[in-house]
A and B are shown apart, each in its own frame.
Chain A
Amino acid sequence: MGGTVESVTAAAAASAVPTADSVAAREAGPGDTGTDGAAPAKLRIRGLEKRYPVKGGELLALDGIDLDVPAGGFVTLVGTSGCGKSTLLNIVAGLVAPSAGDVTVDGDRIVGPGPDRGLVFQAYSLFPWRTVAENVAFGLECQRLSRTQRRARVDAMLATVGLTEFAEWLPRDLSGGMCQRVAIARALVIEPDLLLLDEPFGALDLQTRKNLHEFLRLVWQRTGATVLMVTHDIGEAIYLSDQVVLLSDRPARVVERIDVPFGRSREPNVRRDTRFLELEDEVDDLLHGRR
């Protein structure tokens, strides 16, 4: 285990019912103990619950989630499909209202969606009638930037994601990997405080996925964005993030927080490192209740 895995069950149990003065409680927050320590939490989640009405009762999707994402950090949520990971992300995005609990970004409570939290979907969700450049420009149009300002930022972002020559293409003529790059560019160009990725590479083939991993790492380091990602690909989670958070089957609870013991400047061959492979096995076992 190498001391990288620390159970937080006790800490999670200790977290009190969230109150209005939860911002003041940040210093003593349970999640802070797991991360690098100094960085203050950008995103802070305490006692998050989500219930859905279903035929003949209620479905508990999220059960008392505590989570911190430090500024500039990259945290990944891993769990089996249908465990509620996406629901959690949608709550942070402001698209879904929580049933109970506190979700704050820089101490501000989330009451709805906003451009400070960029969301990237698994299904790309590009506007099919807009070209690549127009898709990327959408968020900037909402900010009422001048045409020339918009143009400059879109061009710069297209260069970053390597799509300059496809600026005038329509989404239907692009491959899945290119579409996802457009979607990430569209979310990033408005410089959100928080980038939320909902299984962004789930629909892509292995090679494209690996290329996009490098792409995402580069963009993340270049922009200094704070990232919260959801995936069920354990290798992807370990390779990309500072911290991997394991969620249990429904109702989703935090099973484990694992600080990834590799530095930020990672090479793809870190995936062959024995420690990487061991960690992968460990997470896999934890995820399937074998430990």
Chain B
Amino acid sequence: MATATPTADVGVDQKSARAGQRGRAVGRLWRVRGELTFRWRVGLGAAGLVGVVALWLLAANATAGSQQGIVVPSPTATWDALRELHAEGLLVSDVLASTERILYGYGISMAIGVVVGLAMGAFPSAEGTLEAPIGFVRYIPASALTPLMLLWLGIDEAPKITLIILGTVFYNILMVADVTRSVPRQLIDAATTLGASRRRIMARVVWPHSIPGIIDVARINLAAAWLMLVVAELLATDEGLAVRVVRATRFRDYDRMFAILLVFGVIGMLSDLALRGLRRWAAPWNR
């Protein structure tokens, strides 16, 4: 004991221990489940994007001049290709064509998801009946149904929209059902003892409580809708973002391919932002 130095035998973390201070101060940025100020959020977001562009530049430089294997076009070349697509009038028509398919397909899928999901989450009868069939169908890859859709529905918009629905609706149903199940039992009990009918409980308790969760489900599964869109647009068609990528592939037009990929990313980010805004507007009580 006599040899021990005073700092060595106290039970304080030595890194954090300073004279005249107790405890461990935690910086704002690394606090577990801490919150960022608006400035930091924007600043870090920008830094992340700059980082991606920097990596892109590095990759473009490293592959510059090569025609085979991995070829990464530079950001400027990609930008030029994007302007070219715009000048040819393809960019707007492709974006509109693809977005329209998503809006119809995913819109219908969400509508089915909400109705069936609410029913499954709320009523044991619906859950019991639907759980097994959905569990079965869900594991059939929707993309494997492409040829069948082609034979059944032709090559028009119908098979494409149907594929988007098939590729997302089961996830939507099951996830909305989960959201519905998370309505606290006591809120339903409270409503019942206040004289609410089953319909009123659905409309005035289950539905409002589920809104933020349903918007989250819509946000998460939207990515799957775009995935199915690409598969769907491989069916004969002239317009669409995925069509453009496939066409560009034939000519090894890496610039155009990257330009379209960029567009996918931007659309995704914007729709995510819009849905976040919708959530905040529709359920201000929820965080």
Contacts and interface: CB of A to CB of B under 8 A. Distances in A.
Interface stretch (B103-111, B184-192, B259-267): B184-192
Nearest to B194: A139
Contacts of B200: 141-142
A123 B194 contact: no
B76 interface: no
Contacts of A114: 193, 195
A93 interface: yes
A119 B188 CA distance: 12
Contact of B285 (A121, A170, A190): A170
Contacts of A121: 186, 189-190
Given A119-B189, A125-B184, A127-B187, A186 B194 contact: yes
A119 B191 contact: no
Contacts of A186: 190, 194
A95 B190 CA distance: 10
Nearest to B205: A127
A contact face: mostly helix, strand, loop, or mixed? loop
Interface residues of A, number: 25
A128 B191 contact: no
A128 B285 contact: yes
Q: Which of B190, B195, B209, B285 counts the most chain A CB atoms within 10 A?
A: B190
A103 to B, nearest CB: 15
Interface string A100-120: 000000000000011101110
A229 interface: no
B contact face: mostly helix, strand, loop, or mixed? helix
A143 B190 contact: no
Contacts of A128: 209, 285-286
Contact of A190 (B190, B192, B194): B194
B46 to A, nearest CB: 32
B189 A113 contact: yes
Interface residues of B, number: 20
Interface in A131-146: 138-139, 141-143
Q: Which of B193, B194, B205, B209 counts the most chain A CB atoms within 10 A?
A: B193
B285 A129 contact: yes
Contacts of B187: 125, 127
A190 B186 contact: no
A113 to B, nearest CB: 4
Contacts of B204: 138, 141
B191 A138 contact: yes
Contacts of B190: 119, 121, 125, 127, 186
A113 B205 contact: no
A172 interface: yes
B59 interface: no
A101 to B, nearest CB: 21
A176 B127 CA distance: 36
A78 interface: no
A172 B285 contact: yes
B200 to A, nearest CB: 6
A129 B211 CA distance: 11
Nearest to B282: A129
Closest 6 CB pairs of A and B: A115-B195, A139-B194, A142-B195, A125-B186, A113-B192, A119-B193
10 contacts: A95-B189, A95-B192, A113-B189, A113-B193, A119-B190, A119-B193, A125-B184, A125-B190, A142-B194, A142-B196
Interface of A: 93-95, 113-115, 117-119, 121, 123, 125, 127-129, 138-139, 141-143, 170, 172, 186-187, 190
